[in-house]
Structure 1
Amino acid sequence: MLYAVLKTLHLLAIIVWIGGMVFAHFFLRPALPAFEPAVRVRLMHAVLGRFFGAVLAAIAITLLSGLWMIGNVAKQVAQAGSQFSMPLEWTVMATLGIVMMLIFGHIRFVLYQRLSRAAQAADWSAGAAVLAQIRTWVAVNLGLGVLIVLVTLLGVPR
């Protein structure tokens, strides 16, 4: 029962993270040119601040639940007298998930701080430049997230 609850939380956290990136990248950002630069930068700063808080929670849930599930399976295999060998799909998922978390750390703790400074200084061109960098890294993370989902669902060709 606990495994099912943690797996559900794990999946919901991933849905929030990937779904938020899809929304921001494909729906929110393309709608922004209708607004003045000051509004665009302030709006994205406010939206990203809220979203990044949710992503931090999603990362914590994903990391803790994933580690617990892997550890639980390894423990069960060991108790059955076998040696645990993590499936390749799990290894790919965990490795790329860590890469995504590191990229997010760069976005949140470096680029978003630059965006905050640009918004506070009313430097709209600097804000736009930082938003372009954020957009690039979000696209990379979105691609990695989709790849993880595909590998997890379809497997790795052998």
Structure 2
Amino acid sequence: MFSIIITLHLLGVIVWVGGMFFAHMALRPAAIEVLEPPQRLPLMKRTLDRFFPWVWVSIGLILASGYGILIGILGANAGIHVHIMHSIALIMVALFCYIYFLPYRQMGQALQAGDLPQAGVQLMAIRRIIGINLILGLVTTIIGAAKPF
């Protein structure tokens, strides 16, 4: 049972953190190089439209499997590294919720209204927070890999 739970946990992490890495380190810089804002902003919005449902699925997998491991398997034997990973995960989820319910929605509204400068401001806010979440996700991955359960 543990191998199934940890596999689901890792799949959620791979999709979320890997997606952030790809978008932040590859897609966005390439889009800036070859597209002007009138083309780049809708591309980034559509990319997020496709990525964010997968983030929600990933969050569900990560939290459900994480709590399954913490409560159902480790219990009182959970090391400090598990509690650190749990705390970081909750911060990451809160940051994603902020992105999703504020700047992402505001970016969509600005694009629908044809307000490219405002859409750009919202995309910049999204980019910054995704950058923070990417760092947190990578740090959490290192903690998980470096400390055995």
| Structure 1 counterpart of 2:67 | 67
Native 8 Å contact 1:37 1:124 kept in 2: yes
Q: Shift of the alpha carbon at 1:74? A: 4.3
Q: 1:37 Cα shift?
A: 1.3
Work out whether 1:115 is the aligned partner of 2:114: no
Cα deviation for residue 25 of structure 1 reads 0.4
Q: Deviations over 1:44-82 (max 9, x none)?
A: 11100111110000000110111111112246xxxxxxx
Unaligned runs of 5+ in 1: 76-83
Distance in 1 of aligned mates of 2:69 and 2:144 = 15
Cα RMSD of the aligned pairs, angstroms, is: 1.1
The equivalent residue for 1:91 is 83
TM-score (norm 2): 0.93
Q: Which residue of 2 aligns with 1:125?
A: 117
1-structure distance, mates of 2:28, 2:74: 43
**Percent sequence identity over matched residues?**
34
Matches within 5 A, 1:1-158: 2-33=1-32, 34-74=34-74, 84-155=76-147
Change (3 A) 1:124 1:3: same
- Runs of 4+ in structure 1 deviating by more than 6 angstroms, as ranges, are none
Q: Where does residue 80 of structure 1 map in the other structure?
A: none
Larger radius of gyration: 1
* Inter-partner Cα distance in structure 2 for 1:7 and 1:150: 15
Q: Deviations over 1:125-152 (max 9, x none)?
A: 1111111111100000001001101112
Contact 1:38 1:122 in 2 (8 A): no
Count residues with an aligned counterpart: 146
